[in-house]
Amino acid sequence: MMETATELVSLDGRCVLVSGASSGIGKAMAHRFADAGARLVLVDVDEEGLSCTVDELPESGGTAHWCVDLGREDQVHRLWDELASAGPDGLPDAVVNNAGIYPERKLEELDQDMLDRTFRVNLESVFWMCQRFIMARGDSGGVIVNVSTIEATIPFKHHMAHYGASKAGVEAMTRGIAHEYGRKGFRANTLVPGGIRTEGTERWAKDALKRLELGIVKEGYDFMKRVPMGRMGTPDEVARVALFLVSDLSAYVTGATVAVDGGFLVG
């Protein structure tokens, strides 16, 4: 018998790991997935923010949270060792690699530290997270959603070449995983937010204004002029599409790059 729409969107009985769950898009995802009935494994480097997210969630779902610096490979492996040691019930059915940093830096001023940090957090950690997830799930398969950015396709903000490059890597990696692991029961898709008002983007804009970088005002104006929907998006509008990609609503979707950008990329 055909499943109902409610059954297809439900995450009842499933466990979803969300990284970057202390703030912004990741926090909104935690709320949406809990709303759909998932048990959660929330990961972030910001322990205080993580506790706030957990406090806001309904108790019924069951939430574990882990303070991890994803820029440290050893910490990523420790996380998975501990998840695996709890037995099959401790392992997530789906992983959403959302945590990311978007530090602004002129190409002429970019140094090895900044490049390393950006690549380690935004790209390398996603490799380790996907590797450990696929190894842990084995024949059971699973769902991966990796978060990129519009900047990987159309550079818009200045001084973000390192950021765009790290996320372009995420998109290529995700397609590679979809290609290689589809027959083993894994789906992997990239979610591409653009122009979402979050704690991170607000802080970013305030810092630029404090430094009297007025170009940010012009960039904001130019963004609004280009984006067909004429407004910024909300974290929950991204979380709703993440729910689609994690749930069985998207059962035959893999290797896709799905933009949630108010139409920016076609603008």
Ligand X SMILES: NC(=O)c1ccc[n+]([C@@H]2O[C@H](COP(=O)([O-])OP(=O)(O)OC[C@H]3O[C@@H](n4cnc5c(N)ncnc54)[C@H](O)[C@@H]3O)[C@@H](O)[C@H]2O)c1
Binding site for ligand X (CB under 6 A): 20, 22-26, 44-46, 49, 68-71, 98-102, 121, 147, 149, 193-196, 198-201
CB 200 → ligand X: shortest distance, Å?
2
Residue/partner pairs of 201-206 with CB below 8 Å, 24 or more apart:
201/24, 204/102, 204/104
Question: Sheet of 15-19: strands edge to edge?
Answer: 63-67, 39-44, 15-19, 94-97, 142-147, 186-193, 257-260
Q: Choosing from 163, 181, 221, 252, which is the catalytic residue?
A: 163
CB 92 → ligand X: shortest distance, Å?
16
CB 122 within 8 A of CB 73: no
Measured from the CB atom, the residue of 142 and 193 that comes closer to ligand X is 193
Q: Tokens standing for 247?
A: 């749930």
Tally Cβ neighbours within 10 Å of residue 227.
Answer: 21
CB 20 → ligand X: shortest distance, Å?
3
CB 190 within 8 A of CB 138: no
CB 13 → ligand X: shortest distance, Å?
27
Measured from the CB atom, the residue of 101 and 168 that comes closer to ligand X is 101
Residue 163 among the catalytic residues: yes
Compute the chain's Rg from CA coordinates: 18
Measured from the CB atom, the residue of 8 and 172 that comes closer to ligand X is 172
Measured from the CB atom, the residue of 182 and 265 that comes closer to ligand X is 265
Specify the DSSP class assigned to residue 14.
Answer: -
Residues with active-site annotation: 163
